Amino acid sequence: MKIDKKSLIMAAILSVAALSLSVPWVSHAEEERHEAVKRRSGDHEEEGERHDIIRAQQNKDKNRAPFPESALYKQECSSCHFLYHPGLLPLRSWEAVIQNSDKHFGENLSLEDKIKDDLLSYFYEHSAEKTDSKWARRILSWSAPSVPARITEQPFIIREHRKIQKSVFKRPSINSFSNCGACHPKGAEGDFDEDSVEIPAK
């Protein structure tokens, strides 16, 4: 076959046209891939939140987890502060609290070994891992694998309170972020639902 000048030029024009058309296609496909990867590896926060909304609809009580009563826990751990629901920390943190109870935020709790063991058994049964509530699940997934020493230093707890001004925590009837019961009147019953929050004015 004889290749004439005309068809050579035609072929050249066609391949330039194809190239210029394929460039946007390539970049578009690339973009789509990026989007898909972003969606998949995605913002865990949003992902978790979407699941949470579905779960909350399935069970409106999911922000409430009954307080597992224990006379011993109440006796040993509520004289200086709010009696924290055991679902507010992962087990590894409660273990650290008990292990370091002679240096407890500047206090020596002077716990006997038997009492330490009994408290550990209680936390073993009722830590965040064993608590069926939305907040406990998020406390767990957001703090892993760290060992938070405080409830108030956990990312999920910090995030939920990020809109509250520092000065609010200093109001006399609140005094500190750690004083959960001041704003969560049902917190002692394991109810931290935003519907039952009441921030004291003074």
Whether the CA torsion 72, 76, 81, 85 is positive or negative: it is negative
Give the shortest CB-84-to-ligand HEC separation in angstroms.
5
Q: What is the DSSP letter of 183?
A: T
Q: Name residue, tokens 């070994």.
A: 113
Contact criterion met (CB below 8 Å) for 98 and 115 = no
Q: Which is nearer to ligand HEC, 3 or 201 (CB)?
A: 201
Give the shortest CB-106-to-ligand HEC separation in angstroms.
6
Q: Which is nearer to ligand HEC, 20 or 108 (CB)?
A: 108
Peptide bond into 66 cis (omega under 30): no
Query: 157, 158, 183: which is closest to 82 by C-alpha?
Result: 183
Alpha-carbon distance 169 to 152, whole Å? 12
Give the shortest CB-139-to-ligand HEC separation in angstroms.
8
Q: Which is nearer to ligand HEC, 39 or 161 (CB)?
A: 161
Q: Which is nearer to ligand HEC, 34 or 44 (CB)?
A: 44
Contacts of 158 (CB under 8 A, 6+ apart): 152
Q: Which residues bind ligand HEC (CB under 6 A)?
A: 63, 76-77, 79-81, 84, 88, 97, 101, 104-107, 109, 119, 135, 150-152, 157, 160-161, 163-164, 168-169, 174, 176-180, 182-184, 192-194, 197, 199
Alpha-carbon distances, residue 85 vs 14, 61, 133 (angstroms): 72, 16, 12
Give the shortest CB-69-to-ligand HEC separation in angstroms.
15
Q: Which is nearer to ligand HEC, 11 or 55 (CB)?
A: 55
Give the shortest CB-75-to-ligand HEC separation in angstroms.
9
